[in-house]
Amino acid sequence: MFQSINPYTGEVIAAYQKLSDEKVSKIIDKTHQSFLYWKTVPFPERSRMMHALADKLLEKKEELALIITAEMGKIITESVAEIEKCAWLCHYYAEHAASMLEDEGMVSDGTVSYVRFDPIGVVYAIMPWNFPFWQVFRFAVPTVMAGNTIVLKHAPNVFGCAKTIEQLFIEAGFPQGILSNLIISVEQSDRVIAHPLVQGVTLTGSQKAGRAVASIAGKHLKKSVMELGGSDPYIVLKDAEINNACKTGMCSRMLNAGQVCISAKRFIVEESIFDDFVDEQKVLLENLVLGDPMRKETEMGPMARPDLLEQIEKQ
């Protein structure tokens, strides 16, 4: 049993029963059948549905933002911005996917030579909780526009977001089975990768998870894409405007309560301005408004899970 727990209040929002292997296999079969149809749908029709999905996101952005904030604690203003970014992405690929996937002519000894981009089938996605809509949409939108279908294993603490995303695709007019959720364990995930109808896997997560997934994908000769984050330096030179440098650095580090793989992790400051930078940064941090992520005045909410907070405190 998986639980979705509000990290600010501790309230249990919902509980989700793990799917049986038999049920998982049926969902994959259905998603494959949807692929056989979806790959034949012309781009104008795909684009129409994707524009409709963008419109649906914007229409419901306040409601959807509440789901994000309740499940993983992101401040409400950031949750709204996340939904708006997803809508922008949908519109972008609705406009440009067809031209991106046009045949590309090439010079060769053949009479006619070209590169053709064909969909591969069912793609399995393992996605994290820190941007529960964006992480899914940035993968799913181009994948679906290219003619593929998706089975999604979202992080257990944001299954409510996952269910909502699946429903949004249906409300926008996409056929059933274009994006299907799998409420499964890590052990079951290995078997999904090995399933003969699953043609590829993508993961956004830790290096440890990436190594494990890539190893299984390699064993079964499945295509794989791993996005494993980073540890980004923030460099401040002596000619920088200190106040702006501090504000930008703080925003980068404190965005989403610091739970962002591309945030500023290491601050490298020229010695001649180091003390001024630290003093200014202290003032900004001391005035950062902490508290209820549902309040628009709040600038930083809780971390997404208690175990994550414990890990930080041990460092």
The verdict on residue 110 lying in a domain is no
Q: Is the separation of the CB atoms in 80 and 62 below 8 Å?
A: yes
The verdict on residue 109 lying in a domain is no
Average pLDDT on 154-159 reads 97
* Cβ partners under 8 Å of residue 288, min gap 6: 250, 254, 299, 300
pLDDT at 313: 84
On whether both 57 and 124 belong to a single domain, the answer is yes
Give catalytic status of residue 261 as yes or no: yes
pLDDT at 113: 92
On whether both 203 and 165 belong to a single domain, the answer is yes
Please give the helix or strand (H or E) that residue 278 lies within, else none: helix 274-286
Tokens 């590169």 sit at which residue? Answer: 115
Give catalytic status of residue 246 as yes or no: no
Phi then psi dihedrals of residue 234, to 5 deg:
-115, 110
Distances (CA, A) of 166 to 10, 51, 74, 284, 295: 26, 16, 21, 40, 28
The CATH number that applies at residue 291 is: 3.40.309.10
The verdict on residue 121 lying in a domain is yes
- Determine the 3-state secondary structure of 142 from DSSP: helix
On whether both 149 and 280 belong to a single domain, the answer is no
- Determine the 3-state secondary structure of 301 from DSSP: coil
Residue ranges making up the domain that contains 6: 2-103+116-227
User: One-letter amino acid identity for 160?
Assistant: G
* pLDDT tens digits for range 33-63: 999 999 999 999 999 999 999 999 999 999 9
The verdict on residue 309 lying in a domain is no
Average pLDDT on 54-75 reads 99
| Residue ending a domain, choose from 227, 259, 283 | 227
* Cβ partners under 8 Å of residue 30, min gap 6: 176, 177, 180
| Residue ending a domain, choose from 171, 195, 227 | 227
Question: Can you say how many angstroms the Cα of residue 199 is from the centroid of all Cα atoms in its chain?
Answer: 20
On whether both 242 and 186 belong to a single domain, the answer is no
Q: Is the separation of the CB atoms in 38 and 157 below 8 Å?
A: no
User: Catalytic one among 104, 187, 227, 310?
Assistant: 227
On whether both 211 and 240 belong to a single domain, the answer is no
For the chain, the domain total comes to 2
The CATH number that applies at residue 19 is: 3.40.605.10
Give the helix, strand, coil percentages of the chain, each rounded to 5. Answer: 50, 15, 30
Report the alpha-carbon angle 82-158-265, nearest 5. 60
On whether both 145 and 55 belong to a single domain, the answer is yes
On whether both 223 and 185 belong to a single domain, the answer is yes
Structure tokens at 127: 């996605």
Please give the helix or strand (H or E) that residue 144 lies within, else none: helix 134-145
pLDDT at 229: 79
On whether both 19 and 87 belong to a single domain, the answer is yes
The verdict on residue 202 lying in a domain is yes
List beta partners, residue 234: 267
Dist CA 71 CA 14 (whole Å)? 10
| Residue ending a domain, choose from 227, 249, 281 | 227
User: Catalytic one among 78, 261, 271, 297?
Assistant: 261
Report the alpha-carbon angle 204-205-211, nearest 5. 100
On whether both 249 and 281 belong to a single domain, the answer is yes
The verdict on residue 310 lying in a domain is no
On whether both 64 and 121 belong to a single domain, the answer is yes
Which has more pLDDT, 314 or 201?
A: 201
Average pLDDT on 223-227 reads 97
Question: Can you say how many angstroms the Cα of residue 248 is from the centroid of all Cα atoms in its chain?
Answer: 23
On whether both 273 and 160 belong to a single domain, the answer is no
The verdict on residue 312 lying in a domain is no
On whether both 167 and 219 belong to a single domain, the answer is yes
Q: Is the separation of the CB atoms in 263 and 252 below 8 Å?
A: yes
- Provide the greatest CA pair distance for the chain: 70
Give the pTM.
0.94
Q: Is the separation of the CB atoms in 125 and 28 below 8 Å?
A: no
| pLDDT bracket for residue 90 (50, 70, 90) | very high
The verdict on residue 313 lying in a domain is no
Does 91 score more than 80 pLDDT?
yes
pLDDT at 230: 79
Q: Cα-Cα-Cα-Cα dihedral of 21, 26, 31, 33, to 10°?
A: 150
